[in-house]
Amino acid sequence: MDWTGIVPFGMDPRPASPGPFAGFKCDSVDENVCRSVDNMMEPKHDNIAVDSFLGLGMENMGISSKMDEFSLGLIDFSFLPDVYGGVLDHWSKQQDGEAALKPEILDGFLDEVEEVEHIYASHHLSSTANHFLPETQVKKEASEVDGEPYGLMNFSSESYSPSGSIGLSEWSKETTVPHTESSGNIKDGFATTNSDEMHCSSYESEDDRKPLSTLLGSWVGRGRSRSKNLFNTSRSRLDSHSGTKSSVSYDFRPRKEPLENYIHHTAENTLPSHDPITSSESEDDISLTIKSKSRSDRRKHQRMWTIDEVVKLLDGISHFGLGKWTDIKNFFFHSASHRTPVDIRDKWRNLLKASYSNKHNGDEEGEEKRRSAARTIPKDILHRVRELASLHSKSLSDFHGSSRSPSTSRKKKKKKKK
């Protein structure tokens, strides 16, 4: 076998500086990583792919976080194919033949469902999943099916994500590897060449295998325009595809990414029980879709940030550094169709605000119910926020050297120099 694709693990002796890893860019990282990323990315649903990558990447990058067990293969993604196939299956059934399985659809669908876990949940996943998901994870699945979509991200939160230990193995090995020799054109070559194999190994159980592979083939090929951004970020504004549930939203604006959301499934059935409390992700669609504002329907109904999201945000910042919002978006919120880098940043901004506003009124508790922004935010988080903030301000200042123009107090924000 040729494992060139996955070498990443021990490779790239990146200084594992505890500090934020700010300079990460695909190009700057060992090629292997990228390649492997590409490889494992493409075939599967973004979520998973990313997550796995994250695992690898982080590991690779020597980013220190509590993901010790991460790469030890605590779980395998064998369920994935199943899910996938299942989804498709459902789909095709519902659509009853007739263009049921078009790349567009899949694409849109997956995108829509952004939180794959919904699928997981709905599927026999439960059965398939149970044995690979750490109880915590499973539990999570049941209770807070939300913030932590793929349940793989929570690996480094100081005070959070107790469930953080997940690994990837089987799957990544399986699908990741294949042929990488053709380092030149991973994209094309891979898409066509590998997709088949992959599916053979992964989708063996479903009969839709055939269409699926072709489908994936094309699916894979999309949106890998620039090498800089491993993932397309270019979605978001225009395509905040709304209908997670019903109707169709037409967005014919020309865009790089072809189909995205021409079609919107009606497969609500596929996404069963949401936890009303925690899953805030997609039910809002129900409320404001239907009319399909066609374009720029970036929900005015702001989605509330879940704790998990915040945690991810923080993790992101601690890993990539402040201001690396695109990266953070890509790695930690890749599957969040909403949450643009800007949003992320805004959230950070707010957190920061809340963070120290909360600190100021030293009367501590008394009543956490105050409607201050910090209301929902657990102290842990705020704490982390503060830490990150200060930590960062420091690193920033001595990175630029203290000899930064007389106005040492740049503005008054984060770079306060502590």
* 327 part of the interface to DNA, by CB under 7 A: yes
Q: Give CA–CA dist 268/293, Å, rounded.
A: 20
Whether the Cβ atoms of residue 119 and residue 113 lie closer than 8 Å to each other: yes
**Interface with DNA (CB under 7 A), residue from 346, 368, 380, 387:** 346
* Rg, C-alpha atoms of the chain: 21
DSSP 208: T
Using the minimum distance from each CB to DNA, give the nearer residue, 179 or 295: 295
Q: What is the DSSP string of 59-115?
A: HHHT--SS-GGGGG-S--TTHHHHHHHHHHHHHHHHHTSSS-S-HHHHHHHHHHT--
End-to-end CA distance of the chain: 53
Candidate segments 68-76, 104-112, 119-127, 229-237, binder of DNA by CB under 7 A = 229-237
Number of residues that bind DNA (CB under 7 A): 25
Q: How far apart are CA 276 and CA 143, in angstroms?
A: 10
Stretch that binds DNA, among 54-62, 78-86, 202-210, 335-343 (CB under 7 A): 335-343
Is 331 among the residues that bind DNA (CB under 7 A)? no
Residue 19 contacts DNA per CB under 7 A:
no
Find the binder of DNA among 222, 324, 334, 392 (CB under 7 A): 324
Task: Decide: is 300 part of the binding site for DNA (CB under 7 A).
Answer: yes
296 binds DNA (CB under 7 A): yes
Would you count residue 372 as binding DNA (CB under 7 A)?
A: no
Single out the residue of 234, 278, 372, 395 in contact with DNA (rule: CB under 7 A).
Answer: 234
Please, how many CA atoms are within 13 Å of residue 203, restricted to the half-sphere of its CB?
A: 25
Min CB(212)–DNA separation in Å: 30
The answer to whether residues 220 and 202 touch, using CB atoms and an 8 Å cutoff, is no
Which range in 115-123, 210-218, 321-329, 353-361 contacts DNA by CB under 7 A? 321-329
Q: Is 416 in the site for DNA (CB under 7 A)?
A: no
Residue window 96-115: x/- pattern of binding to DNA, with contact defined by CB under 7 A: --------------------
Query: 276: closest CA among 143, 373, 160, 163?
Result: 143
- Among the listed ranges 49-57, 71-79, 135-143, 320-328, the one in contact with DNA (CB under 7 A) is 320-328
**Cα–Cα distance measured from residue 119 to residue 150, given in angstroms and rounded to the nearest whole number:** 11
- The residue assigned the tokens 């053979």 is 200
Identify the three-state secondary structure at position 355. helix
- Position 299 contacts DNA (CB under 7 A): yes
- Least distance in angstroms from the C-beta of 343 to DNA: 5
Residue closer to DNA by CB (options 66, 416) is: 416
| Shorter beta-carbon distance to DNA: residue 160 or 305 | 305
Q: Is 294 in the site for DNA (CB under 7 A)?
A: no
Q: Does 298 participate in binding DNA (rule CB under 7 A)?
A: yes
Q: Assign residue 236 a region: left if phi > 0, alpha if psi is -120 to 50, beta otherwise? A: left
- The span of 80-88, 206-214, 216-224, 317-325 binding DNA (CB under 7 A) equals 317-325
The single residue among 17, 273, 302, 357 that binds DNA, judged by CB under 7 A, is: 302
Q: Which of residues 160-179 bind DNA (CB under 7 A)?
A: none
What's the min distance (Å) between Cβ of 338 and DNA? 5
Give the C-alpha separation, 355 to 413, whole Å. Answer: 13
For residues 251 and 259, give the distance between their C-alpha atoms in angstroms, rounded to a whole number. Answer: 9
**Does residue 325 bind DNA (CB under 7 A)?**
yes
Is-contact 172 38, C-beta < 8 A? no
User: 241 near 264, Cβ under 8 Å?
Assistant: yes
Tally Cβ neighbours within 10 Å of residue 267: 22
Sites of contact with DNA (CB under 7 A): 229, 233-234, 237, 296, 298-300, 302-303, 322-327, 338-339, 341-343, 345-346, 411, 413
